[in-house]
Amino acid sequence: MFYHVIGLSYRKDLTYNQISVVYGDAFVNIRGRPTRITLNNNPIHIIETNAFRQLDVTRLYLQDLKIDHLEYNTFEDVTAVEINLTKNKIKTLAAAVFTGTNYLQNLYLDNVGLKAVYGTLFKDASTVSGTISLEGNELNQLPGDFLSQVSPYEIKLTSNKISVFPKDMIQNTKVKRIDLNSNRIEVLPDDSFIGQGQLLEVMLKNNRITDVHRGIFDPLKNVQTLDLSYNRLVYLAPGIFDAMDNLHSLYLSDNILFYFPAVNGTRLERLDLQRNTLTSIANDAFIYFNGTLKKIDLTDNSLNCDCQLYKTLVWVKKSIQGGNCSSPNATSGLLFDHKEENSTKYFAKPKGRVRGEMGIDYVSLNKLIHGLNLFSTVQGFRALGGVNESHAPNLACC
């Protein structure tokens, strides 16, 4: 049992005791203002209504207990800026459980087995200006009014069972970052992001998204990071990211994209296209980039390294940090490599000896472009290390 605490030190650590119940008014009339109270790893299975009434504390840790439900007003008048309830056994949360937490900034309810939330958890001047984390639960949806009384910077929903993007929940809120990694989202409706121009980061990694239509991202004019990696995207429409004027990082690795369209890269710094099935890239894919791009990764694709691809990549040659040629035979096996050798940025470095007859250690993109464009025939490649006549048809586009 735990009740009527008289005095608490600067930090009160009650971890690994045999406390099973926290009764109402357990912290009434305590002396001092502890910065942290930790009740982690106790067999607590009941926390009564008003158990923390008048508790003046900065952080309250209630992790790895035996709690399976929370009473209404459990945390009323708690002054804590952070409450952590990670690793409990809470299956559902009733509405307004955290009413009266007027100073709360961060709330963690990770890995508690949560299956349902009914309405907003907050009421009456709750603030929550930092993080609401519900990671590692079993939620398949969230009510539209879940955030109606609070203004968190981010909401973390990684590793749940959410199948529909919760647009109603964050529409017209102040949420800047939403993390929906490792869920079960298959479709993003065209109106998913309407009214969400406040967002700065949208994390949708490791879902089941197969298609995104042109215009869907247009409302996201302030987004700086968009992660769509580890999905099932096959095609991206030209101009799909053009309205995202502040996009800095775009993650598209581990999809099944076979083609990459033109991108408005006015502020893009990182583009990750690893482990797709890319064979080609749009001719004008990178011509709008203004020099901000620091890294583009094309590792483990199936690129056809013809003249068109070289002309495309010349715009971003200093940013390429991974990739390889699969065809034609003259270039098959070449690796794109962002390395410096004698103060020259190199585009390709073979592992061992390259298939075909190129027999070169390094091939700079400048030299390849020069050879392909100026000589316009197989002689251009021959000048770089030798290509036999059987490769001439592969260079016809030059």
Tell me what pLDDT residue 284 has: 84
pTM exceeding 0.75: yes
Give the C-alpha separation, 287 to 268, whole Å: 13
- Range name among 23-37, 42-56, 202-216 with the lowest pLDDT average: 23-37
N-to-C CA span, the chain: 82
Could you read off the pLDDT of 325-351 as tens digits, one per residue?
A: 888 776 777 776 545 332 223 344 434
Distance CA 375, CA 237 (A): 35
DSSP codes, 229-261: -SS------TTTTTT-TT--EEE--SS--SEE-
> So what's the pLDDT on residue 31?
66
Q: What is the pLDDT of residues 59-98, one digit of tens each?
A: 999 999 999 988 777 888 888 999 999 999 998 887 778 8
Q: 370 Cβ partners below 8 Å, 6+ apart?
A: none
CB count in 10 Å sphere of residue 116: 15
CA pair distance 384, 354, nearest whole angstrom: 13
pLDDT value at residue 124: 63
pLDDT at position 395 is 41
- Domain coordinates of the chain in residue numbers? 315-398
Does residue 148 register a pLDDT over 90?
Answer: no
Mean pLDDT value across the chain: 80
Say which range, 151-155, 308-312, 372-376, has the weakest mean pLDDT. 372-376
Instruction: Give the pLDDT confidence of 21-43 residue by residue, as tens digits.
Output: 999 888 887 766 778 999 999 99
Q: Is the peptide bond before 261 cis (omega within 30 degrees of 0)?
A: no
Strand partners, 82: 59, 106
Say yes or no to pLDDT of 217 above 50. Answer: yes
pLDDT on residue 213: 93
Residue 11, pLDDT score: 67
DSSP structure string for 191-215:
TTTTT-TT-SEEE--SS------TT
Distance CA 383, CA 289 (A): 31
The number of CA neighbours under 13 Å toward the Cβ of 62 is 30
Q: What percent of the chain has pLDDT over 90?
A: 44
